[in-house]
A and B are shown apart, each in its own frame.
Chain A
Amino acid sequence: MELSFFNVKDGYLEALVRGLRSGFLSADEYRRLAQCESIDDMKLALEETDYGMFLQDEPSPIPSTVIGQKCREKLANEFRHLRSQANYPLSKFLDFLTVEKMIDNVVGLIQGTVNKKSPQDLLGRVDPLGWFPEMKAIASMDITSGYEEIYKTLLIDTPVGPYFESFLKQVTPADSESRSMQEVASIFNETDLELMKNMLKKAWLEDFNAFCETLGGSTAEVMGHILKTNSDFRVMSVTLNSLNTMLGSSQQLGDRNLLYPSLGYLYPEGTDRIRKAWNETTVRAALEPYKPYAALFDLCAPYYSKERSGVTDIKQLKSLEDLIYEKEVELCEFAFEQQFHYGVFYSWVKLREQEIRNIVWIADMISMGRKEHTEEIVPIFRPRY
């Protein structure tokens, strides 16, 4: 049934996305980019690809950040084109994709506003994919009038309101139903914004997963796999990145554990085991029953071990992120192998993000004159033999 009706509503958009899939940079194009001598060369090389003339109005020299931002704008434009033609439930699915970026943006805006940055500056660096009209209100709100306004703006006006709500519930004692403005103020003041962001993202991930499950069919199947793997990666990432830091210390394990999403293949037993882990050995032990993750951990463990200071060839070591990117690309590529599900939209966005990362990396390496490193990217849809 699902298969036969999918095309009635979403067939056109799926076709579009599959068309966009062929717009990913090919191995040849990457090679051409890597051979560029300067950013201006690179701009010319990019003009021959699907990116086209998107950099032509930028005064040279173009910093790599601007290239990244422009790429993201292009992605956001294409995304919006899809979004405007989607109807429920695909529309909601696409909205979920933007929410992740919105969280980033909102947190960034709060931080910037607290520091009295000019709204134009702040709005200039937000991720265009997570753009929403109320952002302007956040950026220009008057911080001196107290946190009441932030509270209102965030909880009422933005699409991420529900996540903030759940975040506040988590950090305040359960019984205090009516939180005073003062309390909210102190929460915003005291909580590490980075932690807040990740708690919001965790809530988003859980919510997204729940939504995908309601969709059922192959969407639930494909997306379920992707999201579960992602949340497992998240668990590993949080764990590894907090090793040997304040957050990994025993006093703050509680804070760290709040960041673990309650889904994924690790959940609940594996997550529970990891919750108790505090150093490389214990983490390794906790991951032991989960072979793929344990293997992943072994690959990147040297990067995180305490003794790595003094090791000079740190550049040769791979961090967990390098590995996760590779896995994620693989995961997303597979999503294109099946038809009649929404996973392709998610995959397309993620792959484009990876491609942008690749481009920015190459641009960085070229401007630094370290072309030997331009190979260290994760190509998308690389030919398989």
Chain B
Amino acid sequence: MSKKPRFIGGSDLKVAVIGDEDTVVGFCLAGVGGRDAQGRSNFLIVDNKTRMSDIENAFREFCDRKDIGVILINQHIAEQIRYMVDTHEKVIPTVLEIPSKDKPYDASKDSVMSRVKVFFGGNIE
């Protein structure tokens, strides 16, 4: 809370997606995808050829961009860069971990859920 949150006013924010092909395609279909004149997009398709550093860079870029309000990230990808997700402290953009099609959602791994869990005495069921 050291700096005043900057979310009042300002222009509309975008949703960024880091995920496997299906997740990204789905949300692009819904209309969140954007690509500007420089070819810079607000999503990253991660397959098993994607390097870890690419994911890290994309995540860092989305966190630093002023026009992004929410980052959706597949849980299994968040696992790979867990240290970054866990240390992400900004209120905006907020990071949401979402399940991918082949991996059901596991609440115990989610860094938000693990914080929520504390308040339930370690049991969220």
Query: Interface residues, chain A, CB within 8 Å of chain B?
Result: 39, 59, 61, 63, 65, 115-116, 364, 367-369
Contact = CB atoms under 8 A, between A and B. Distances in A.
Contacts of B104: 369
A369 B21 CA distance: 18
Contacts of B47: 63
Contacts of A39: 102
Interface string B15-32: 000001100000000000
Given A364-B101, A368-B102, A63 B21 contact: yes
Contacts of A364: 101
B121 interface: no
Closest 7 CB pairs of A and B: A367-B102, A116-B39, A368-B101, A59-B48, A65-B21, A368-B102, A367-B101
14 contacts: A39-B102, A59-B48, A61-B48, A61-B102, A63-B20, A63-B21, A63-B47, A63-B48, A116-B39, A367-B102, A368-B101, A368-B102, A369-B102, A369-B104
| Size class of the contact patch on chain B | under 10
Nearest to B20: A63
Contacts of A63: 20-21, 47-48
A86 B35 CA distance: 46
Contacts of A367: 101-102
Contact of A115 (B20, B35, B101, B102): B35
A65 B102 CA distance: 13
Nearest to B47: A63
Interface string B26-48: 00000000010001000000011
Q: Max chain A CB contacts within 10 Å: which of B21, B101, B102?
A: B102
Q: Max chain B CB contacts within 10 Å: which of A59, A63, A115?
A: A63
A26 B61 CA distance: 50
